Copies of this chain bind each other. A is one copy, B any other.
Amino acid sequence: MEKPPVVILAAGEGRRLSLGKGVPKPLTKFAGLTLLERAVRMWHKFGFTKFYVVVGHAKEEVTEGAKKIAAKLGVEIIPVENNEWPMGNGTSVLAASQLIDRPFFLQMVDHVFDAKTLQEFLKKTENAEITVLAIDPRVDSVLDIEDATKVKLEGEHILDIGKSLREYDAIDMGLFFCTPEIFESLRKSREQNGGKLSDGVRWLANNRRIKAVVLSTGQWFDIDKPEILRAAEQDLFERIKKSEDGLVSKHLNRQISFRISKRLSSLLSPNPTTGIAFCVALLGALLFTSGSYLATALAGVLIQLSSILDGCDGEIARIRLEASARGAWFDTVLDRYADALISLAVTYNMWMQMRTVWVWLGGFLALFAFVGVSYIKKEFKLRTGQEVKSSVFEKLTKRDLRLFGIFVGAIAGLPYHAMLVIAFITHLWMLHFIWTEMREKFKKGQEKSF
| Partner-B contacts on A (CB < 8 A) | 41, 44-45, 47, 72-74, 115, 271, 321-330, 332-333, 336-337, 340, 343-344, 347-348, 351, 357, 360-361, 363-364, 367-368, 371-372, 374-376, 378-385, 434, 437-438, 440-441, 445-450
Closest-CB distance, A288 to chain B (whole angstroms): 14
A73 touches B323 (CB 8 A): no
A383 touches B326 (CB 8 A): yes
Please indicate the chain B residues that have their CB under 8 angstroms from the CB of A343 in the complex. Answer: 364
B360 touches A441 (CB 8 A): no
A384 touches B438 (CB 8 A): no
Please indicate the chain B residues that have their CB under 8 angstroms from the CB of A447 in the complex. Answer: 324-327
Please indicate the chain B residues that have their CB under 8 angstroms from the CB of A368 in the complex. Answer: 336, 340, 367, 371
Query: Nearest chain-B residue to A371 (Cβ)?
Result: B371
- The contact of A375 among B375, B385, B449, by CB within 8 Å, is B375
- The contact of A384 among B115, B326, B448, B450, by CB within 8 Å, is B326
Closest-CB distance, A227 to chain B (whole angstroms): 29
Q: Can you list 28 A-B contacts (CB < 8 A)?
A: A41-B446, A45-B448, A45-B450, A72-B445, A73-B446, A74-B445, A271-B438, A324-B441, A324-B449, A326-B383, A326-B441, A327-B447, A329-B384, A329-B437, A330-B437, A332-B379, A333-B379, A336-B372, A340-B368, A344-B361, A344-B364, A347-B360, A367-B367, A374-B375, A374-B379, A375-B378, A378-B379, A381-B382
Most buried by B among A321, A340, A351: A340
Given contacts A344-B364, A363-B364, whether A325 and B446 have CB atoms under 8 Å apart is no
B382 touches A323 (CB 8 A): no
Query: Nearest chain-B residue to A445 (Cβ)?
Result: B74
Query: Nearest chain-B residue to A46 (Cβ)?
Result: B448
